[in-house]
């Protein structure tokens, strides 16, 4: 479904990411593990078209998308729930969700239907639908960010560190919902530092260090790997 072939990204003369090869098959949950600054977010930004690769190709469903703009890529069916959430803070929860459905704006019924679906996944958002997004707690904002991304009905959803800064109980709920979204037919590419929780739900994973992939394998392989256990699980 999505493949990155020898992708490199530069910020000015600084190479943030190099020789990245990733393969995501339809229906999977794939996790990118790595510490802060390892290059996970840069890879996500590049897939979404916010950064352009300086070398290599990004292919989605067989088509090259590396020269496409960010808004076109959303139309192709890649939705990103970005680092820092990037909500519209002064808009209400419901307005944020409606904006999430922007690419389907001409199909009113579809938007209404998606909205109900998101409220089903996150009942708290329905309760707070008339509150400003900026007034929500961190966990609720993360739910809203995921909900907003779902509104575009992506085939592939990129989730950049959804567990960051959240209480353990909320993290658990978050991963349950991610799994549910995947079961409903959305392929998921997840960036995480919380390897323990992420590998439990993932099919396979890649480990990032200093801007490139140092290790890849199935979740079981990575979970059993000593290096991964030492660096990301702490056991």
Question: Which residues contact other proteins by CB under 8 A?
Answer: 48, 50, 69-71, 74-75, 79-80, 82, 85-91, 95, 98-100, 102-103, 105, 134, 148-149, 151-152
CB of 226 to other proteins, least distance (A): 37
SS3 189: strand
Report how far residue 97's alpha carbon sits from residue 130's, in angstroms, rounded to the nearest whole number.
Answer: 11
CB of 112 to other proteins, least distance (A): 14
80 or 194: CB nearest other proteins: 80
CB of 99 to other proteins, least distance (A): 5
CB of 85 to other proteins, least distance (A): 8
Residue 93, φ and ψ in degrees, nearest 5: -55, -45
Percentages of the chain per state (helix, strand, coil), in multiples of 5? 40, 25, 30
161 or 205: CB nearest other proteins: 161
10 or 229: CB nearest other proteins: 10
* Unique residue bearing structure tokens 């979404």: 48
Question: What residues contact 63, with CB distance under 8 A and at least 6 apart?
Answer: 76
CB of 203 to other proteins, least distance (A): 25
104 or 126: CB nearest other proteins: 104
Residue 160 burial by Cβ neighbours in a 10 Å radius (0-12, 13-18, 19+): buried
Residue 59: name the closest of 25, 17, 35 by CA.
25
Strands annotated E in 111-166:
156-160
110 or 216: CB nearest other proteins: 110
Residue 70: name the closest of 82, 61, 62 by CA.
82
Please answer whether residues 71 and 185 qualify as being in contact, where contact means their C-beta atoms are separated by less than 8 angstroms. no
CB of 66 to other proteins, least distance (A): 16
CB of 80 to other proteins, least distance (A): 5
Q: Longest Cα pair distance anywhere in the chain, in angstroms?
A: 52
Report how far residue 15's alpha carbon sits from residue 71's, in angstroms, rounded to the nearest whole number.
Answer: 25
190 or 207: CB nearest other proteins: 190
134 or 185: CB nearest other proteins: 134
């Amino acid at each position: 479904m999505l493949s990155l072939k020898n992708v490199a990204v530069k910020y000015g003369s600084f190479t943030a990411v190099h020789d990245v090869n990733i393969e995501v098959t339809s229906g999977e949950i794939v996790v990118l593990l790595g510490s802060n600054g390892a290059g996970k977010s840069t890879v996500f930004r590049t897939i979404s078209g916010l950064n352009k690769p300086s070398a290599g190709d990004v292919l989605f469903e067989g088509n090259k998308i590396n020269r496409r703009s960010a808004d076109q890529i959303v139309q192709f069916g890649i939705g990103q729930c970005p680092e820092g959430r990037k909500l519209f803070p002064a808009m209400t929860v419901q307005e944020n969700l409606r904006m999430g459905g922007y690419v389907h704006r001409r199909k009113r019924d579809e938007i209404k239907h998606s909205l109900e679906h998101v409220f089903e996944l996150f009942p708290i958002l329905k309760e707070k639908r008339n509150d400003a997004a900026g007034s929500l707690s961190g966990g609720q904002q993360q739910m809203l960010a995921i909900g907003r991304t779902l509104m575009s009905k992506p085939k592939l959803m990129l989730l950049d560190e959804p567990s960051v800064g959240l209480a353990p109980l909320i993290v658990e709920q978050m991963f349950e919902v991610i799994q549910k979204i995947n079961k409903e037919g959305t392929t998921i590419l997840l960036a995480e530092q919380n390897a323990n929780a992420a590998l439990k739900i993932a099919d396979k994973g890649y480990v990032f260090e200093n801007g490139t992939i140092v290790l890849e394998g199935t979740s079981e392989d990575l979970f059993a790997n000593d290096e991964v256990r030492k660096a990301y699980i702490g056991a």
